[in-house]
Structure 1
Amino acid sequence: MRKLILFLFMLVSGIIVAQQEPIKVVFDVTSANPDVHRTAAKHLRLMAEAYPDSQFEMVIYSGAIKMVDRKASVAGETLAEMVKRSNVSVVVCEQTMKRHKMVNDDLIPGVGSVPDGIFEIVMKQKEGWGYIKEVN
């Protein structure tokens, strides 16, 4: 709860003070917990709306696969709206999809895929992207 309050305080503070320069943030989601899925999608939405000149990518892999399942996602509505934004991308690990026997048609429309979720995050960090791990 403290983390959420701190996050919201920082978000509100950031909205009040004009953003100096665009940022790039990659969100890492691996939890199977639906509450984490809802919260992560909300964080993505709030950041993308508050900082429209910045870039955001959410990388989903491992136990979080249901977050992008078009039939089972508790965050599907939010993610479907977010992927329409030019400053947001949501991608899922193809290795995770393979393990769960999922294909692109099983995903929320607009969600992309990458060959390896961990590699994607490492490459983003190498390019200077900030990193956020979404957890309970």
Structure 2
Amino acid sequence: MKTFFLFLGLLLCANVAWAQQKPVRIVFDVTSADPSVHQAAIRHVSLMAQSYPGSSYEVVVYGQAIEMVLDSKSSVAKEIATLASGNQVKFAVCELTMKKFNVDKPQLIGGVMSVPDGILEIYSRQQEGWGYIKEGH
């Protein structure tokens, strides 16, 4: 009986180790104007990217969160530029939000892309099997 439990324990450990190595794809939804939410989103995506280097992440920004991706107003501009310079983390801002707040592409932090509709971008990622995280307090 002792051997059975030892075997079961080793099997469970092997499954956990394998699960931690499996790449993930996660889309982060950011709509808050609160800079502490922006900082939390960057912290979360950075830690995930470090922990799962073969994985893909996309941070979709729309609504009141527009300042998160504006070069002149973002509290996380340097972090976004660094993360966006690689190929693991993408930042996407909603063009409808840009239009609403009179923002042009040159105002965006380098590496931030635009998408026609932020909500549709999130929906599309979910249809592709991506996990979903809503950032907020």
Alpha-carbon RMSD? 1.3
Q: Shift of the alpha carbon at 1:84?
A: 1.1
**Unaligned ranges ≥5, structure 1:** 1-15
TM-score when normalising by structure 1: 0.86
Higher radius of gyration, 1 or 2: 2
Tell me, yes or no, if the aligned pair for 2:27 and 2:59 is still in contact at 8 Å: yes
Q: For residues 62-85 of structure 1, give each alpha carbon's deviation from its aligned partner in whole angstroms, at most 9, with x where no partner exists.
A: 000000000000011111110012
Q: Distance in 2 between matches of 1:20 and 1:44?
A: 17
How many pairs align?
121
Q: Shift of the alpha carbon at 1:20?
A: 3.1
Q: Distance in 2 between matches of 1:61 and 1:103?
A: 14
Give matches, 1:1-136, under 5 Å. 17=17, 19-136=20-137
Q: Distance in 2 between matches of 1:83 and 1:40?
A: 14
Tell me, yes or no, if the aligned pair for 1:42 and 1:78 is still in contact at 8 Å: no
Q: Distance in 1 between matches of 2:115 and 2:76?
A: 20
**Which one-letter code corresponds to 1:56 in the other structure?**
Y
Indicate the residue corresponding to 1:10 in structure 2. none
Q: For residues 43-76 of structure 1, give each alpha carbon's deviation from its aligned partner in whole angstroms, at most 9, with x where no partner exists.
A: 1111112111000000000000000000000011
**Unaligned ranges ≥5, structure 2:** 1-15
Q: Which runs of 4+ in 1 moved over 4 A?
A: none
Calculate percent identity across the aligned residue pairs.
48
Q: Relative to total residues, which structure has the larger helix share, 1 or 2?
A: 2
Q: Distance in 1 between matches of 2:90 and 2:121?
A: 12
**SS where residue 31 of structure 1 aligns?**
coil
Indicate the residue corresponding to 2:10 in structure 1. none
**Which one-letter code corresponds to 1:82 in the other structure?**
L
Tell me, yes or no, if the aligned pair for 2:66 and 2:97 is still in contact at 8 Å: yes
